[in-house]
Amino acid sequence: MDTWIGLMSGTSMDGIDAVLVSFQGKSVRTHATHSSVYPEDLRKRLVLASQNQATPDEVGELDTLVGTLFANTAEALICKSGVERSSIRAIGSHGQTLRHQPSGPGRFSLQIGNPSIIAEKTCVTTVGDFRSRDMAAGGQGAPLVPAFHQHFFGSDTEDRCILNLGGIANITWIPSERGSPVTGFDTGPANALMDAWCQDQTGRPYDENGQWAEEGIVDQALLSDMLTDAYFERPAPKSTGKEKFNLRWVKTLVRRHNNVRPEDVQRTLLQLSVITATRQMPQSPAMVVYACGGGTRNRLLMKELTQSLSPIRVLSTAELGLDPQWVEPTAFAWLAQQAMERIPGNLPEVTGAKGPRILGAVYPA
């Protein structure tokens, strides 16, 4: 049986998640997982580059450094798994997004992490650059995981909303009625702003379990100001990233309000994530929400989401057979399979592309 590797580093820029899986019909078998943390100096350089504070030389060097780390992560996964290298059909590498600009005359999405290095070091065919073809066809190039969600998480008996709580939150709406379109889009920030504010104010990279946010209260005036951002009212298809929702965005808004305690800002940012995700979510009597992504480990965030959506049930994708931490890397393993078998990997109704497209560039072993 063929196996596939998925490599993913999200907008939080904290490290790389790697998974080795096999697919059979609508089921996924996870054979091994592995994570690598970015060295702090590299993470800081990536953050600066994502803020347009890097020269072409620096971006090129980061492309090589990140590609090497991705390759080493894949190699560690292969060694841990004990599977025969010859059984691994391909690696799907999302890369590390530096900038995502899906609108304007020079629209683009830039991921670094040279796939040639991954193919060379692992001796496994690698598929990368998944977003470009969808954008060339008029799409946003994001989100790409809804096609995977539809294939593996669809149901004939209940409407399902897959809520991915990464640095940016996105939803995939999968109605149970056959023939009804799947929809999906980025709702706005999830962990990105909370992590950035926590790092800036406390020196900690994230607020574990939302403990710091729990010390604060929601500042309603600040929250109302945040919610006036035009992105939240924009119709789909739409996608966003840290180019828009970043520490500068937070500080600009906080300066408009007097004497807001840092912990109150953190609590308000958490509530912003909850409100923007739930308000934009389609709802139906038969609906169940399945959450995935790093935000599922934030106890306070999950508590507030559950209360906000009640009586709609909020569960983990673990209930559907896939651990929430590994959904996104598994999606890029599946997108690699789609590319290798010459099957489209996008959903035009989600991204806005002119039609289905085969995604990714192939770098042979």
d(CA 256, CA 259): 10
Q: Which residues contact 52 (CB under 8 A, 6 or more apart)?
A: 99
Amino acid at 255: R
CA distance 342 to 359: 9
CA distance 62 to 46: 8
Furthest CA-CA distance within the chain: 62
Return contacts of 95-98, CB within 8 angstroms, 24+ apart.
Answer: 95/9, 95/66, 95/70, 95/128, 95/129, 96/9, 96/13, 96/46, 96/66, 97/10, 97/11, 97/50, 97/241, 98/46, 98/49, 98/50, 98/59, 98/62
**Per-residue DSSP letter, 358:** -
The total number of residues shown for the chain amounts to: 365
Return d(Cα 167, Cα 242) in angstroms, integer: 8
- Contact call for residues 297 and 167 (beta carbons, < 8 A): no
CB 202 within 8 A of CB 265: no
Counting runs of H as helices and runs of E as strands, what totals does the chain give?
A: 13, 12
Check the annotation: does 17 bind a ligand. yes
Name the one residue in this structure whose structure tokens are 């620096």.
Answer: 58
Q: Is 129 annotated as a binding residue?
A: no
The string of DSSP letters for 154-192 reads --SSSEEEEEEESSEEEEEEE-SSTTPPPEEEEEEESSH
Please check if 14 is assigned to a binding site: yes
The tokens 């953190």 sit on which residue? Answer: 266
**168 belongs to an annotated ligand binding site:** no
Q: Is 186 marked as a binding-site residue? A: no
Please tell me whether 287 is known to bind a ligand: no
Q: Mark the binding-site residues for ATP, compressed into ranges.
A: 10-17
Q: Mark the binding-site residues, compressed into ranges.
A: 10-17
